[in-house]
Chains A and B, each alone.
Chain A
Amino acid sequence: MISLALHYLAARKKQTLLMLLGIFFGTASFTTLSGLLLGFKDYLVNQLVNNSAALHVEPARDGGFIAHPGAWYRRLDADPGVAAYSPQLVSPAILSLDGRTASGRLVGCDPGRQARVTTIGDYVVKGSWAGLAGGTGRLALGAELRRTLGAELGQKVVASSGAGAPRAFTVVAVFQTGVRQGDTQAYVPLADARRLDRAGGKVNDIAVRLKDYTRAGKTAGAWSRLGPERVESWDELNPSIVNMFKAEDLVRFLAVGAVMLVAAFGIYNVLSMTVVQKRMDIAILRSMGYSFGDVLALFLWQGLVLGACGAALGCLAGWGLGLYLRTVSFGGNPFGAGTGRLAVSLSPSIFIQAALLALLATCLATLLPAWAAGKLNPIEIIRAGAE
């Protein structure tokens, strides 16, 4: 019946084009909107998860230290879900340079491990992250702190955490994450941080990167039961942003659902009219031995062909538009920090979802007219035609 269905579609070029355009615009808008929203979401997740870490193991009480870090290291080394981890000593600090001061967070870490846990190295805009690992007394400065202090590469910044004597650090890198909280941090080698804080061999945070960051919540729950330490996942630390993602998904599906609904109504109307116009054809097909199922298939094929073509063209257009939008300069935060371009996701799942939605909408819109066509009584049509 597909051949006859194609003949029917070809014979009604304008109507076919209108139905096709409905599905096309629905699919294209879904893919573009989803690409933008998911791109934004990926960007934020990247900021939250990759700049910080999926999980943080922290002391049981604020201001304390992790009681048995060695046990945690062994546990993390043995866990197949852990991609990397980085012990940290984090403390508030006052930084000063030539009479200018700025307050921020000083993070002591192993630069190599930190680069495996977070993407901080990717945000270095001056100098290099690797320079931090070259010895002691070196510091990577967040862009906000750099701006306040007016610091340049190679200059010495004095840091004080209040616990020990202030120490001077040479600026070897400047990074810009695009998030104020991140850009008011400074990284120093772990040994230097310990000397500054007089913390001996202690740490107060272990940042953990998981192979699958979506399992962070479950993993945090499981690890919390292993000892006195608090284990917090990125989504627990940022509940408002997670809720925003959910609202975003809802808005995305509602907006596109409305477009698809209009397109589906268009298909329903046109095919219903076609069934009325083709009553005689249906009657004669039944007289030739074509069954209810054959007539149903004749109209379902029309919907499926329209749905498949509209979805394919819409996905293609959405993909092309997404590629173009990726080149659009957005002038920095929040969408384009780091790259300065719009963050647009072209994940295959978006296109699969769009195609399935388009096919579902067309199938539902086609089913009713097709069913009505199959149920027509051929002899009543012939009798009416002869009168």
Chain B
Amino acid sequence: MGLSAKNLGKSIGDPPARVLSDISLDVAPGEFVALTGRSGSGKSTLLHVLGSLDPATEGEVWVEGREIGAMRPDELCHFRNRRMGFVFQFHYLLAELNALENVLMPARKAGEKDRRRPHAEALLRRFGLGAKVHRLPRHLSGGEQQRVAIARALVMEPGYLFADEPTGALDSANGQVVMDILMDCNRRLGTTVVLATHDPEFASLAGRRVHLVDGRVKAD
């Protein structure tokens, strides 16, 4: 009942350019999967399609026994809010809100802001930001900003964490910290992690590697 892709295809642009072709993939609950490949291989697009952010042109994505493409928009929003977390190459924190308020944004949508506050504070403490919960993003370093973004992705305790090049904009030390956090989430909380990365060293930390070439799975 994890995450499953069946004959996925994706074209973008006009005229359409083929980005993904005939991808079938099963990700078990609690698995840590790294999507690897060179730039333009389709790993980010595949991650976005699996994470329901981008609709597939062909094929189906099933999560926990439900087909994403068949969900109503409000159902999909609710499901994404409750069961999925996203981390991108850039932190995309809301500049007007402090670290804690940023982390609580998904909980605000769910109407659980107050209930999730202790958890959000605990996450920030765990990520070494206990003393900076009230700082605005511009007063945090790049690594700290990315850690806040990860805390935001985890505040709803999602079953699935989609990380798209989360270390791409960080130096190696901060990149390692981020990877440690992702692995810790996977091991301790059982969160299913799908990581798109072009860094073979970080990819090697995942339990499973799916290598893409020109939008097709070359090795699994």
Query: Chain A residues in contact with chain B, CB under 8 A?
Result: 3-4, 7-8, 10-11, 280-281, 283-292, 294, 378-379, 382-383, 385-386
Contacts and interface: CB of A to CB of B under 8 A. Distances in A.
Contacts of B73: 291-292
A379 B92 contact: no
Contacts of A386: 44, 88-90, 164-165
Nearest to A283: B92
B212 interface: no
25 contacts: A4-B96, A4-B97, A10-B96, A11-B96, A280-B90, A280-B92, A281-B92, A281-B94, A283-B92, A285-B105, A287-B80, A287-B86, A288-B105, A289-B77, A289-B79, A289-B110, A291-B73, A382-B53, A382-B92, A383-B44, A385-B88, A385-B92, A386-B89, A386-B164, A386-B165
B173 interface: no
B54 interface: yes
The 7 closest A-B pairs by CB, nearest first: A289-B81, A284-B92, A7-B96, A289-B80, A11-B96, A379-B54, A291-B77
A147 to B, nearest CB: 71
B117 interface: no
Interface residues of B, number: 31
A284 B109 CA distance: 13
A149 B110 CA distance: 86
Contacts of B164: 382, 386
Given A379-B48, A379-B54, A8 B96 contact: yes
Contacts of A287: 51, 53, 80, 86
A22 to B, nearest CB: 23
B38 interface: no
A288 B89 contact: no
A382 B92 CA distance: 9
Contacts of B165: 386
B18 interface: no
A284 B81 CA distance: 12
A4 to B, nearest CB: 7
Interface string B43-81: 010001001011000000000000000000110011111
B131 interface: no
Q: Which of A284, A287, A382 has the most CB of B within 10 A?
A: A287
Contacts of B110: 289
Contact of B106 (A3, A289, A385): A289
A378 B55 CA distance: 12
A281 B95 CA distance: 9
B109 A7 contact: no
Given A294-B109, A379-B53, A288 B94 contact: no
A382 B74 contact: no
A4 B94 contact: yes
Nearest to A285: B105
A288 B81 contact: yes
B104 to A, nearest CB: 11
Nearest to A290: B109
Contacts of A11: 95-96
Given A289-B81, A290-B81, A379-B48, 19 more contacts: A4-B94, A4-B96, A4-B97, A7-B96, A8-B96, A11-B96, A285-B105, A286-B53, A287-B80, A287-B86, A288-B81, A289-B82, A289-B106, A290-B77, A290-B109, A292-B73, A382-B48, A386-B88, A386-B164
Nearest to B105: A288
Contacts of A280: 90, 92
Contacts of A3: 108
A285 B86 CA distance: 11
